[in-house]
Structure 1
Amino acid sequence: MRQFTAVVNPTAGGSTGAAALLAVARLLREAGAELETEYSRSLAHARDLARDAGERGRAVLAVGGDGITGCVGGALSGTGTPFGIVPAGRGNDFARALGLPTDPAALARILLDHAPRPVDTIEVRSAVHDRTVVLGSVYAGVDALANRHANHARLLRGTASYYAGGLRAVTTWRPVRYRVTVDGETHDHTGYTVVAANSGYYGSGRVIAPDARLDDGLLDIVMIREAPRRLFFALMNELKTGAHVHRPEVRILRGSRIRIEADRPVPYGADGEVDAVLPVTATVLPGALDVLC
């Protein structure tokens, strides 16, 4: 029987991550599993809690949204520690990519009974992040600015906060001249964003990279070039289904290592958190995380 440590973001989704854990925790304990709960004070604290639990031979659960999921999963990358997710945030995009159920009973069965599945992670290096590891995607441009607005939204939740953040970001955005190097080959790109996607989802269910796979050892690099704002708003709508990839303004490359540079300070984010500017380098770590899914 597994022993679990749940690392909880107590403010996930604008409420309490603990509330999302309650039903799952009861089912785990009724089945005979041991569960301890730790509340994180920050992402750095969450990493420390996760590593400590893993070193004690426990399976680690991230309870919250993509920020703490990426943080905890990144901390466990390469350690062999079983990693589970209890989705409780605004976006829950990595849980969505894994196909995790929202029903507590179904989720508890997965955490108790399923063998871990190895999935890829992303090593991120920049002037701010000497080295950190994330799970879902690294994105640089208007979407990073939109996500920053969404993270600070107080009245809106979930998809609505991301959509409002996107509208606010696009209205003031000027196209950026990027230099994108994929596995040693450089591409010049002028536009709105560059996304290096391990997961197909970001921004609360938007299908940024429909063909991205979590275990193929590659990143899908999605580049959206300069276009009239009205067209960009149409493209944002198409992100609901992934239909945007058929537009000529969208280019997709694949590779295991990408470096993104720009002609001005451009924000970039990873797994829902935005706290740095380009340049950034992202490298796939194949099969580095053992996920209960």
Structure 2
Amino acid sequence: MRQFTAVVNPTAGAATGAAALLALARHLREAGAELRTDYSHSLDHARELARDAGRRGRIVLAVGGDGIAGAVGGALSGTGATLGLVPAGRGNDFARALGVPREPEALARTLLHGEPRPVDTVQVSSAVHDRAVVLGSVYAGVDALANRHANRSRLLRGSASYYAGGLRAVTTWRPARYRVTVDGEEHPHTGYTVVAANSGFYGSGRIIAPGARVDDGLLDVVMIREAPRRLFFTLMNELRTGVHVRRPEVRILRGAEIRVEADRDLPYGTDGEVDATLPVTARVLPGALRVLY
């Protein structure tokens, strides 16, 4: 029977994560599986706990949202260890892209009986991140600023916090001039954002890159160019279904390595965490992580 170690960050969504794990644990233990819970003090500590559990041959469960999923999954990337996701955070976008169930009994069946499948991960290099590995996407611009506002929100949760953060970010945004290099070819761009997407989802369920696949060895590069604010708000609404990609203001490229630079200090985010500024390089690591989904 499988052995699991659940890594939980008690400082982020503690109550939601604990409730999700408690409901899941009953089904796992009733099936005879062993479950251990480790509480981390930070994302760096979560990475340490994940690596240790993976080395001991245990399936590592990331309990929470995209931040801890990215930290735990990044730590296990390239090690041969297996990741399981327990969606219990603000966004849960990588779990959404994989179709991971949230209902405890269905999730338990996936974790107990599913076969691990390889997915791509993304290596990120910048002044702050020295070859860090993340799962979902790297995004630089107004969306990263909106994500920062959402993370700091104390009154709103989930999609509402992202939408409010987006409104706040757009009202003060002035278009940035980017230099985007995709597999060695430069693409000048002036506008709102550049997103290097492994997963199609970001921002709590918004479909930024409908054609992105987590197992194709490529990143979808979505660039939204300068446009009137009214049109940009329309584009934000269209992210719910992914139809924004039909607009001439949206350009999509694909590649294995993307570098993003800008004419001013701009924040970039990775898996819901916004703690650095451009320039940044994102490189796909094909099939580097085994995941149960």
TM-score class, shorter-chain normalisation, is over 0.9
Q: Give the number of aligned pairs.
A: 293
**Given the alignment of the two structures, is residue 50 of structure 1 paired with residue 50 of structure 2, yes or no?**
yes
The aligned residue for residue 87 of structure 2 is: 87
Letter in 1 for 2:213: R
Q: Is the 8 A contact 1:12 1:90 kept in 2?
A: no
The aligned residue for residue 274 of structure 2 is: 274
Q: Is the 8 A contact 1:10 1:16 kept in 2?
A: no
RMSD: 0.8
After TM superposition, what 4+ stretches of structure 1 lie above 4 angstroms from structure 2? none
Find the aligned partners of 2:170 and 2:16 in 1 and give their Cα distance.
31
Cα offset, 1:225, TM superposition = 0.2
Q: Is the 8 A contact 2:11 2:41 kept in 1?
A: no
Letter in 1 for 2:177: R
Letter in 1 for 2:57: G
Find the aligned partners of 2:39 and 2:33 in 1 and give their Cα distance.
20
List aligned pairs for 1:50-89, cutoff 5 A.
Answer: 50-89=50-89
The aligned residue for residue 5 of structure 1 is: 5
Unpaired runs of 5+ in structure 1? none
The aligned residue for residue 218 of structure 2 is: 218
Q: Is the 8 A contact 1:197 1:212 kept in 2?
A: yes
The aligned residue for residue 31 of structure 1 is: 31
Moved more, 11-20 or 265-274: 11-20
- Give the secondary-structure state (helix, strand or coil) at the position aligned to 2:102: coil
Find the aligned partners of 1:35 and 1:19 in 2 and give their Cα distance.
15
Letter in 2 for 1:43: L
Letter in 2 for 1:99: G
Find the aligned partners of 1:2 and 1:78 in 2 and give their Cα distance.
21
Letter in 2 for 1:286: P
Q: Is the 8 A contact 1:196 1:222 kept in 2?
A: yes
The aligned residue for residue 233 of structure 1 is: 233
Unpaired runs of 5+ in structure 2? none
Find the aligned partners of 1:33 and 1:182 in 2 and give their Cα distance.
45
Cα offset, 1:234, TM superposition = 0.4
The aligned residue for residue 113 of structure 2 is: 113
**Given the alignment of the two structures, is residue 186 of structure 1 paired with residue 193 of structure 2, yes or no?**
no
Letter in 2 for 1:223: M
Q: Is the 8 A contact 1:14 1:157 kept in 2?
A: no
The aligned residue for residue 122 of structure 1 is: 122
List aligned pairs for 1:149-168, cutoff 5 A.
Answer: 149-168=149-168
Letter in 2 for 1:242: G
Letter in 1 for 2:74: G
Letter in 2 for 1:218: L
Normalised by the size of structure 1, how large is the TM-score? 0.99
Find the aligned partners of 1:15 and 1:37 in 2 and give their Cα distance.
15
CA deviation map 1:128-151 (0-9, x unaligned): 111100000000000000000000
Cα offset, 1:224, TM superposition = 0.2
Cα offset, 1:15, TM superposition = 3.4
Cα offset, 1:11, TM superposition = 3.9
Cα offset, 1:215, TM superposition = 0.1
